[in-house]
């Protein structure tokens, strides 16, 4: 038998000394021994704690910059979103939380710098786990550099409602893609010794009336769509925390919903971390505690003195408190946050910018490119008209608790008056105009703000190429009234395209956009919310230094009429932010998700509706062909040949879908796997994609179990959900 040769590992004396000193220091605190499993450490610490110390772990102590949530301990939040006392007597660190959906929030208010990553939806459109990891790693480093040890990012809600104001914070419409992207993001963030989190659990699909709306959906549909995305993310990322959402689900608020928190999350999935409420999303003491909520945020209205009194009166068993506290301790030990407290330092700006650029380049999606209008060829294009979108000064970002403060403030505001404000669109100082001028120094590039479409058309008419920048702003706390571009932007594009057939539209959006002008323009580029280096990434794509490879993580519908809910569920303004409502009134606030598991591309296929752009769609400056699909039933893999049939090197995201056996009650395919493959011109490669069995299973409500039906599954491969030219079969007995 062959064995690997023994290799001596040399450990520096200084490291050995430091480890020895740590062990000596904690000889009377075995729970601080990092060699022990986090479960064991949590149990050891829990046995030493008083009731008051346990309850201190179960609630927040206020939030910075919010007058209604100020408490004596608020100063300890470090300017962040929340602060949970540790157990100083036992050497257990406090939890210092910060909003960080796509970068560290409130950095400007706190006198710091943060890198804005591209939106989560942009990262998902890269279909790249390496990018997802770099995304989380970058945010994790900057969280710690700013003195925090827990993120409040990790949004994984599926895009059931594309008008949802937080669509840009989430990773698209498919559970396998969304769960994989967010799972790897949290895995690599938590590796930086900060507690990872996924949110908003669950079916939190609109902002309108989010505090009162009741999502009505069958258990099977929920398990096979929204909950599957969460399960995949948690299984990959192993985050220390899950944030429950504001809305009701089938009558119970998500933060006191025993089916979601106890039955599914903690029992079926075996989640060991803690569940914290969304801010002011706790509605009770005894019910929430029994249902599985572990921590109230941002204060202690229900899980402070009221919880202690309920324990002392015998209405809440001490075992319940122990379970809550044990889970919080577990997260601290699991992540390394208990052993490696953050040390404030200077953020590595250049490293963050390079990460943001790389991820944005992979996430930009080329949607249309007639007559090879792109990439821009410097020798042929001497005059360019750049129009609209404040492209002379910057690019727009997403708002709400995800908002990252740009250095110097809002780029479209006068100097010194550009502070970011809640519910106000914010532009980063990332000027595409300046980036293009730097890339094309010999071209004459003129700018028109686009306020007067006729004047913009006149400028475009005399140019070799016109680029119109259009934007769609989204934010927490609001939903889009529709998917149309706001203001006069559609009219602007129409008139510019009429004046110059070589017109390219660059979209900066957080969701899908309808395009009544699509047939009149030569090119469309979806840049999303592009982050702190978005202008550089976009310029590299436009001039061809980088070949676009992104593909849509969500379907772009032709119109709102094609959505499962053509009109978004609305509530009276006075009801928008209500708290609990009587059960008899709950029906008034219900949204019935009758489409079930048919989210996104599944809906369009089942209902035979043609989208504007399909899930998984994206063009390249080269072309690819697919051939020779074979399916290995034992390994559950699909193998086919991918060939670069164009003249440039490029990366293709090859997708594999599965259709359930005949006789099932489904009329749509499911994404089962994918591969990112880079090929030189003329190169062919044999691609093997593992078929993820989790997406082949169906959930049985009666038994609360997953089933893998016997029969023949159709296996499909191709470049997008609506183009799968290769077909094979997988027999399961």
Q: What is the pLDDT of residues 406-431, one digit of tens each?
A: 998 999 998 767 788 888 999 999 99
Tokens of 250: 């089938």
Residue 599 maps to a domain: no
Residue 320 maps to a domain: yes
CA dihedral 93, 94, 96, 97 (to 10 degrees): 110
635 shares its domain with 672: yes
495 shares its domain with 414: yes
Residue 166 contacts residue 476 (beta carbons within 8 Å): yes
User: Can you give the CATH number for the domain in which 697 is found?
Assistant: 2.60.40.10
Query: How far apart, in whole angstroms, are the C-alpha atoms of residue 35 and residue 38?
Result: 9
pLDDT at 77 over 60: yes
Query: How far apart, in whole angstroms, are the C-alpha atoms of residue 639 and residue 623?
Result: 20
Residue 196 contacts residue 240 (beta carbons within 8 Å): yes
Query: How far apart, in whole angstroms, are the C-alpha atoms of residue 246 and residue 387?
Result: 40
Give the rounded percent of residues in the chain with a pLDDT score beyond 70.
94
User: Can you give the CATH number for the domain in which 465 is found?
Assistant: 3.40.50.1700
Structure confidence by residue, pLDDT tens digits, 235-252:
999 999 999 999 999 999
pLDDT at 580: 54
pLDDT at 575 over 80: no
Structure confidence by residue, pLDDT tens digits, 600-654:
999 999 999 999 999 999 999 999 999 999 999 999 999 999 999 999 999 999 9
Residue 618 β-bridge partners: none
Please state the pTM of the whole predicted model. Answer: 0.94
397 shares its domain with 453: yes
First to last CA, the chain: 37
335 shares its domain with 356: no
377 shares its domain with 486: yes
Query: How far apart, in whole angstroms, are the C-alpha atoms of residue 52 and residue 305?
Result: 9
Angle CA 452–457–461, to nearest 5? 155
334 shares its domain with 356: no
State which residues form the domain around 492: 351-542
451 shares its domain with 321: no
Query: How far apart, in whole angstroms, are the C-alpha atoms of residue 149 and residue 166?
Result: 24
pLDDT at 495 over 80: yes
Residue 197 maps to a domain: no
Residue 296 maps to a domain: yes
Query: 91-107: b or e for each residue (b if 16 or more CB lie within 10 Å)?
Result: bbbbbbbbbbbbbbbbb
pLDDT at 263: 98
Ramachandran bin of 329, using left for φ above 0, alpha for ψ from -120 to 50, beta for the remaining angles: alpha
Structure confidence by residue, pLDDT tens digits, 80-114:
999 999 999 999 999 999 999 999 999 988 999 99
Query: How far apart, in whole angstroms, are the C-alpha atoms of residue 117 and residue 101?
Result: 9
DSSP class of 245: P
Domain end, chosen from 512, 542, 572, is at 542
pLDDT band at residue 350 using 50, 70 and 90 as cut-offs: very high
Give the rounded percent of residues in the chain with a pLDDT score beyond 90.
88
pLDDT band at residue 159 using 50, 70 and 90 as cut-offs: very high
pLDDT at 581: 55
Query: How far apart, in whole angstroms, are the C-alpha atoms of residue 564 and residue 598?
Result: 9
Tokens 């510019």 belong to residue: 496
Q: What is the CA radius of gyration of the chain?
A: 26
413 shares its domain with 335: no
Residue 686 β-bridge partners: 641
Residue 253 contacts residue 586 (beta carbons within 8 Å): no
298 shares its domain with 415: no
pLDDT at 1: 34
pLDDT at 15: 45
Query: Residues in the chain, how many?
Result: 733
CA dihedral 694, 697, 700, 704 (to 10 degrees): -20
pLDDT at 26: 72
Reduced to 3 states (helix: H, G, I; strand: E, B; else coil), residue 676 is strand
Q: Which long-range contacts (CB under 8 A, 24 or more apart) does 26-29 make?
A: 26/91, 29/90, 29/91
Query: How far apart, in whole angstroms, are the C-alpha atoms of residue 564 and residue 543?
Result: 39
DSSP for 484-533, please give it: SPSTTHHHHHHHHHHH-SSEEEEEE-SS----TTGGG-SEEEE--S--TT
Closest CA to 625 of 723, 731, 503, 481: 723
Instruction: Compute CA 266 distance to the chain's CA centroid, rounded to the nearest angstrom.
Output: 23
Closest CA to 60 of 276, 228, 216: 276
296 shares its domain with 394: no
pLDDT at 98: 98
Average pLDDT over residues 304-311: 98
pLDDT at 2 over 50: no
Burial of 703 (0-12, 13-18, 19+ CB in 10 A): exposed
Tokens of 450: 């686009």
pLDDT band at residue 565 using 50, 70 and 90 as cut-offs: very high
Residue 192 maps to a domain: no
pLDDT at 582: 55
In the chain, the number of structural domains is: 3
Residue 550 maps to a domain: no
Domain end, chosen from 291, 315, 340, is at 340
pLDDT band at residue 338 using 50, 70 and 90 as cut-offs: very high
pLDDT band at residue 439 using 50, 70 and 90 as cut-offs: very high
Closest CA to 230 of 262, 203, 267: 203
For 130-258, strand residue ranges (E) read 150-151, 197-201, 214-216, 241-244, 248-249, 252-253
Residue 553 maps to a domain: no
Domain end, chosen from 307, 340, 373, is at 340
Query: How far apart, in whole angstroms, are the C-alpha atoms of residue 594 and residue 219?
Result: 12
Structure confidence by residue, pLDDT tens digits, 185-227:
999 999 999 999 999 999 999 999 999 999 999 999 999 999 9
Query: How far apart, in whole angstroms, are the C-alpha atoms of residue 210 and residue 531?
Result: 27
Least confident of 292-301, 406-415, 441-450, 492-501: 406-415
Structure confidence by residue, pLDDT tens digits, 498-556:
999 999 999 999 999 999 999 999 999 999 999 999 999 999 999 999 999 999 999 99
Tokens of 207: 């902002």
What value does the mean pLDDT of the chain take?
A: 94
pLDDT at 68: 87
Least confident of 218-227, 293-302, 332-341, 406-415: 406-415
287 shares its domain with 359: no
pLDDT at 144: 98
Structure confidence by residue, pLDDT tens digits, 13-28:
654 555 465 555 677 8
310 shares its domain with 363: no
Residue 278 maps to a domain: yes
Tally Cβ neighbours within 10 Å of residue 595.
19
pLDDT at 9 over 60: no
């Amino acid at each position: 038998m062959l064995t690997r040769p023994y290799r001596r590992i040399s450990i520096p004396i200084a490291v050995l000394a430091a480890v020895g000193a740590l062990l000596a220091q904690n000889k009377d605190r075995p729970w601080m021994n990092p060699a022990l499993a986090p479960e064991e450490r949590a149990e050891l610490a829990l046995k030493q704690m008083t009731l008051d110390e346990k309850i201190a772990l179960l609630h927040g102590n206020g939030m910075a910059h919010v007058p209604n949530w100020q408490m004596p301990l608020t100063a300890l939040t470090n300017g962040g979103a929340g602060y949970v006392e540790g157990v100083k007597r036992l050497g257990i660190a406090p939890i210092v939380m910060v909003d960080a959906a796509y970068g560290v929030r409130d950095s400007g208010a706190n006198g710091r710098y943060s890198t804005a990553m591209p939106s989560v939806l942009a990262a998902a459109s890269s279909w790249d786990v390496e990018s997802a990891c770099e995304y989380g790693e970058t945010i994790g480093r900057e969280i710690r550099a700013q003195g925090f040890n827990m993120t409040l990012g990790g949004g994984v809600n599926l895009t059931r409602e594309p008008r949802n104001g937080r669509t840009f914070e989430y990773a698209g419409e498919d559970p396998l893609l969304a769960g994989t992207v967010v799972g790897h993001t949290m895995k690599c963030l938590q590796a930086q010794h900060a507690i990872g989190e996924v949110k908003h659990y669950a079916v939190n699909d609109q902002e309108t009336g989010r505090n009162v709306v009741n999502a009505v959906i069958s258990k099977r549909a929920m398990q096979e769509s929204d909950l599957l995305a969460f399960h995949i993310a948690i299984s990959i990322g192993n985050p220390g925390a899950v944030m429950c959402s504001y809305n009701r689900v089938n009558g119970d608020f998500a933060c006191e919903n025993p089916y979601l928190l106890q039955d599914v999350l903690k029992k079926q999935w075996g989640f060991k971390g803690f569940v914290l409420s969304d801010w002011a999303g706790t509605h009770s003491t005894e019910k929430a505690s029994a249902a599985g909520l572990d921590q109230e945020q941002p204060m202690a209205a229900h899980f402070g003195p009221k919880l202690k009194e309920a324990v002392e009166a015998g209405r809440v068993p001490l075992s319940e408190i122990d379970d809550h506290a044990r889970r919080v301790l577990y997260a601290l030990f699991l992540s390394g946050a208990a052993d490696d407290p953050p040390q404030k330092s200077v953020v590595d700006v250049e490293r963050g910018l390079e990460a943001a650029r790389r991820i944005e380049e992979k996430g930009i999606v080329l949607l249309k490119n007639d007559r090879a209008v792109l990439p821009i060829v410097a020798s042929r294009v001497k005059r360019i008209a750049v129009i609209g979108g404040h492209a002379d000064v910057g690019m727009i970002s997403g708002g709400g608790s995800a908002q990252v403060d740009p250095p110097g403030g809002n780029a479209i505001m006068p100097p010194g008056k550009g502070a970011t404000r809640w519910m106000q669109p914010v532009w980063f100082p990332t000027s595409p105009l300046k980036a293009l001028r730097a890339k094309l120094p010999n071209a004459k590039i003129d700018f028109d703000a686009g306020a007067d479409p006729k004047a913009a058309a006149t400028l475009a008419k005399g140019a070799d190429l016109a680029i119109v920048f259009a934007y769609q702003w989204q934010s927490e706390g609001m939903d889009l009234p529709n998917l149309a571009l706001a203001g006069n932007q559609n009219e602007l594009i129409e008139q510019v395209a009429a004046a110059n057939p070589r017109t390219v539209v660059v979209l900066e959006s957080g969701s899908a956009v309808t395009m009544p002008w699509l047939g009149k323009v030569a090119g469309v580029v979806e840049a999303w919310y592009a982050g702190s280096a978005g202008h550089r990434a976009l310029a590299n794509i436009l001039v061809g230094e980088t070949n676009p490879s992104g593909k849509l993580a969500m379907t772009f519908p032709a119109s709102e009429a094609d959505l499962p809910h053509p009109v978004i569920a609305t509530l009276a303004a006075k009801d928008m932010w209500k708290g609990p409502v009587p059960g008899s009134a709950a029906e008034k606030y219900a949204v019935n998700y009758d489409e079930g598991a048919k989210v996104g591309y599944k809906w369009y296929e089942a209902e035979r509706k043609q989208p504007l752009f399909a899930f998984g769609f994206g063009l390249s400056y080269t072309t690819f062909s697919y051939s020779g699909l074979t399916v290995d039933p034992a390994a559950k893999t699909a193998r086919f040949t991918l060939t670069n049939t164009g003249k440039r090197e490029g990366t293709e995201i090859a997708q594999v879908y599965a259709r359930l056996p005949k006789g099932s009650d489904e009329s749509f395919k499911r994404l089962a796997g994918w591969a990112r493959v880079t090929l030189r011109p003329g190169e062919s490669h044999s691609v093997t994609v593992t078929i993820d069995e989790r997406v082949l299973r169906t959930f049985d409500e009666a038994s609360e179990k997953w089933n893998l039906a016997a029969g023949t599954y159709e296996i499909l491969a191709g470049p997008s959900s609506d183009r799968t030219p290769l077909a094979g079969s997988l027999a399961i007995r």
